[in-house]
Amino acid sequence: MALDGDIDRILFTEEQISKRVSELASLISDDFAATADSPSPPVVIGVATGAFLFLADLVRKVKVPLYVDFIRAESYGCGTKSNGAPRISLALKVDVQDKHVIVVEDIVDTGNTLASLISLLKSKGASSISVCTLLDKPARRKVDFQLVGEGKFYCGFECPDHFVVGYGLDFAELYRNLPYVGVLKPEIYK
Ligand code: 5GP
């Protein structure tokens, strides 16, 4: 089965992603430097499965102690359109009560997933909630999400309104292992 052959065009190359991930990690390291000596390091929560590569590359470059955990959120099933009501399984191992949380997402589209996630994490007592997303599609936003406390929004790249795959992002659970982000040929999912 071809992987590269199903890609219409590459939007963000492996090199561009790596450079941007380093920049984001350095921003986060600076912003959370004050927590380095605190008894309560920030909790980085990856939204599985899409954020697994981004999170792995990002945390390796962050220079402050941190916890890592994952939650699972699903809104697409096997299609390319969000169904608006993400299923979230919040089986966290790390207690976020009174901790700074950084949610790591692959892509923010309608904003539904983030809005639900933030309200769940807020209800668990997080003292601040930041979001670090690899991609943002602001043109598709339907729901506004509010960061919590001193929370910040970190974004890798603004993404045009196309269905993209690679670097963790899938179509029907495939293409996650492409090292770049590209636009999937529409005939693959039509
Ligand atoms: P939202 O709840 O913001 O509409 O959707 C967020 C989720 O939808 C993302 O975490 C991601 O799983 C999925 N998603 C949104 N746009 C795309 C896209 O272009 N490609 C892929 N593969 N997933 C997307």
Residue 26 pLDDT level (bands cut at 50, 70, 90):
very high
Tokens encoding 48? 């599985």
Does residue 86's CB lie within 6 angstroms of at least one atom of ligand 1?
Answer: yes
Nearest CA to ligand 1 atom 16: 109
> Which of 107, 155, 165, when mutated, tests ligand 1's pocket best, judged by the most ligand atoms within 8 Å of its CB?
107
Residue 111 confidence (pLDDT) above 80: yes
Question: So which residues are the catalytic ones?
Answer: 109
> Which of 118, 153, 169, when mutated, tests ligand 1's pocket best, judged by the most ligand atoms within 8 Å of its CB?
169
What tens digit of pLDDT does each residue of 34-87 get?
A: 887 777 899 999 999 999 999 999 999 999 999 999 999 877 655 666 656 677
Q: Which domains does the chain have, with CATH numbers?
A: 3-189 (3.40.50.2020)
Residue 169 pLDDT level (bands cut at 50, 70, 90):
very high
What tens digit of pLDDT does each residue of 114-135 get?
A: 999 999 999 999 999 999 999 9
- Cβ–Cβ < 8 Å for 180, 6: no
- Cβ–Cβ < 8 Å for 71, 101: no
Does residue 110's CB lie within 6 angstroms of at least one atom of ligand 1?
Answer: yes
Supply the pTM of this predicted model: 0.94
